[in-house]
A = this chain, B = another copy of it.
């Protein structure tokens, strides 16, 4: 019976494993595809940019500077960095990082050895050799990975030069930007005033008035759309939305650097609604990633900068947090808002009931720490019964580790197959429906929700 279950999961998996990759949200650097320069070295590839990796090593007492992270790590020898990583490979037992990296080493890089202190230097050489080959350049890998479309995440003020270069060149890979306006919406950002000046310069709008500010934001969205964007993205610690009667007053205060933190948060809560309203106008899918408390380790922030593995999830209240926004635009049938949570307690309690009601809402896949086999199983277990499958947004790899993209989609597809095989074995639906849902969860829903249909 379980034999049958495993066989059925395998069957379902084989039906989807070779599907193209649709990657509607992630953090790859568009420069890779614009310049097609080779990746530098194994440490830069697998350790230095991967906060999943260096956070675990740091948690066991290894200084970030020894791992080549930040300016403090600028002089670290990449061979030595790789040696430390390989020697501590057992720390990753049971984590998705080990599954992803094993996949990359085996499938993409053709390495035959398990990592260990003994083989560290040899494996380093083998990878370095590959990276020097032309078929390990970004564009070649993009094609080999069968990536249909890849979205990057780009600040609202980004001139998108790399995206322009990609569009201008002969290479046919589809790489699109995503509009991330946090820097021009968050009045508590120390660079807010500077960002507004840049926004003014870029758009030729008059930012002395709130309506000019809105026009400038609309203009940037149009620029992103012209460069291929189909979505926006917001990263928020504690979700809050409200509709200000007179947003101009608060706008002026924040523009002059005179607003309090609380005022900045209220203004951002208002602007989220404005952004949703602009999405109604221009059709960009809106993404909200909420509930990560950023940079909780202050000395790491000071020495090594932002996003260095000390971002920790906190509890989230989606119901009250989105209330005002949803009651302004939530019933618009063409609006799409994708919600991402790090608080799994909200899967069954809040997100599934909300997405099972509001026409605009879709639930994003397990995010960050929860993009893992058990995390994916909990996600399906807790959302499907209330939200169904058609209120989900398919998969996002959400990675800055380009090499890991096939590994992450593969892990998701295995999770999809396991989940659907269990549903079939419980008698909820037949194999035909399971095959249809497997394909939908692998690529179809992502295409639909992000407007990336072929």
A residues in contact (CB < 8 Å) with B: 1-3, 5-6, 55-56, 58-61, 90-96, 98-99, 293, 296-300, 309-315, 317, 319-320, 323, 326-327, 330-331, 333, 342-345, 348-350, 352-359, 361, 369-370, 372-375, 378, 381-382, 384-391, 423, 426, 428-429, 433, 437
Q: Whose C-beta in chain B lies nearest to the C-beta of A370?
A: B348
Cross-chain contact of A385 among B348, B373, B437 (Cβ < 8 A): B373
| 4 cross-chain pairs, A with B, having the tightest CB-CB distances, nearest first | A2-B2, A372-B385, A61-B333, A94-B384
Interface of A, helix, strand, loop or mixed by DSSP: helix
**A59 and B1 within 8 A (CB):** no
Rounded to whole Å, the gap between the CB of A298 and the closest CB of chain B is 5
Inter-chain contact A374/B369, CB cutoff 8 Å: no
Give Cα A372 to B388, complex, Å. 12
Given contacts A92-B388, A372-B385, A385-B375, is CB(A56)–CB(B356) below 8 Å? yes
This chain: how many copies in the complex?
A: 3
Is there an interface contact between A384 and B95, defined as CB atoms closer than 8 Å? yes
The residues of B that contact A437 with a CB separation of less than 8 Å are 93-94
The residue in chain B whose Cβ has the minimal distance to the Cβ of A377 is B381
B353 touches A312 (CB 8 A): yes
A9 CB, min distance to chain B CBs, angstroms:
11
Indicate if the CB atoms of A369 and B390 lie closer than 8 Å. no
What are 25 of the A-B contact pairs (CB < 8 Å)? A1-B3, A1-B5, A1-B6, A2-B2, A56-B388, A58-B357, A58-B359, A59-B357, A59-B361, A94-B385, A94-B389, A95-B384, A95-B386, A95-B388, A296-B326, A297-B330, A298-B327, A299-B331, A309-B357, A315-B317, A344-B349, A345-B349, A372-B385, A372-B386, A373-B426
Q: Which residues of B contact A313 (CB under 8 A)?
A: 319, 349-350, 353
Contact with A359, one of B60, B343, B355 (Cβ below 8 angstroms): B60
Question: With A2-B2, A59-B359 given, can you name 13 additional A-B contacts, CB distance below 8 Å?
Answer: A1-B2, A1-B5, A60-B359, A94-B389, A96-B385, A312-B319, A313-B319, A313-B353, A315-B315, A343-B345, A344-B345, A345-B345, A353-B369
